[in-house]
Structure 1
Amino acid sequence: MGRLGRAVRGAMVGLLALSAAACADIYRNHGYTPTDNELAQISVGRDTRDTVAEIVGRPASSALLQDGAWYYVQSRYRHGGIGAPREIDRQVVAISFDQAGTVANIERFGLEQGRAVVLSRRVTETNIRGVSVIGQLLGNLGNLRAEQLID
């Protein structure tokens, strides 16, 4: 085999390696949720909006109708090949406040099979506020399929 044959074979191996690398999944994170260590620094019934903002920062979204609850949302997407990006994980941390602006509840929600699932909850009273808003945020997004979007 001559030089030309080796060059062609080398080019084909290089092209094959490049095409295999192009199919590798890429993961991207969007948004921010405080870690459990950061949330442990917040005391239910004692901390206020200002102290929460100092500890974990202000959220990108807050509910106006639910006593000013703060929602921190983080999603992880997998981009692979020619298909559309697919959300593989979503977490929502909800910090709700009472009328005086004191922390009343801290909850962490996850997404499992298109349904909102409570992962952890710290509350001082039995009335859990803001669940319906979380359900609306997380409920339908996981149920969409490519076939539904095309129709």
Structure 2
Amino acid sequence: MERITDMEGGRFRARAARAAVIGALIALVAACAPIVTRHGYVPTDEDLQDIVVGVDTRESVASAVGRPSAAGILSDSGWYYVESRFETRGWREPREVDRQVVAISFDDSGVVTNIERFGLERGRVVVLSRRVTDSNVKGIGFLQQLMGNIGRVTADQLVGD
């Protein structure tokens, strides 16, 4: 039976201590990496190119890009596709870093009148792209409500009760 000398035992403890410090540093760096989650769905620009303003109807839009989870509040005048991206860093609560809304408006006969994409820049709603046949999206108050909630989302609202 061979005995470990004090010198060899000291080297072993030093190596173990170094390994523990390196492991702790790796865990610390990994904990700082953001966790990114996405909520909702927004059709891509390529998908929206298939929709012709003034020609397509609710049914053809539904087959091209699917039905949204949010529809126009007043007389079903539009469909709203909403996607949000949240980042969580360490113990901090999730923070919304991006939100996009695609609004597709219809006339009374169900024909597409507007297709607009909205995003956020410095906390303000901006139009990213627009294909319209009239001056404005009906129900812009609804869009402003959707886009205006940035920064007001808390962790308990995301997780639920």
* Fold conserved between structures, TM > 0.5: yes
Distance 1:92 1:80 in 2: 25
Asked if 1 retains the 8 angstrom alpha-carbon contact of 2:102 and 2:117, the reply is yes
Asked if 1 retains the 8 angstrom alpha-carbon contact of 2:41 and 2:82, the reply is yes
Aligned residues: 145
- Aligned AA (2:50): Q
Larger radius of gyration: 2
For the pair 1:32 / 2:45, whether they are aligned, the reply is: no
The equivalent of 1:142 in structure 2 is 150
Q: 2:62 aligns with which of 53, 60, 71?
A: 53
SS at match of 1:51: helix
Distance 1:127 1:36 in 2: 20
For the pair 1:15 / 2:14, whether they are aligned, the reply is: no
Distance 2:113 2:72 in 1: 15
Normalising by structure 1, we get a TM-score of 0.88
The equivalent of 1:84 in structure 2 is 93
**Which sections of structure 2, spanning at least 5 residues, go unmatched?**
1-9, 155-161
The equivalent of 1:149 in structure 2 is none
Distance 1:128 1:24 in 2: 39
Identity %: 53
* CA 99–85 in structure 1, closer or farther in 2 if over 3 Å, else same: same
Asked if 2 retains the 8 angstrom alpha-carbon contact of 1:66 and 1:129, the reply is no
- How well do the aligned residues superpose, as a CA RMSD in angstroms? 1.8
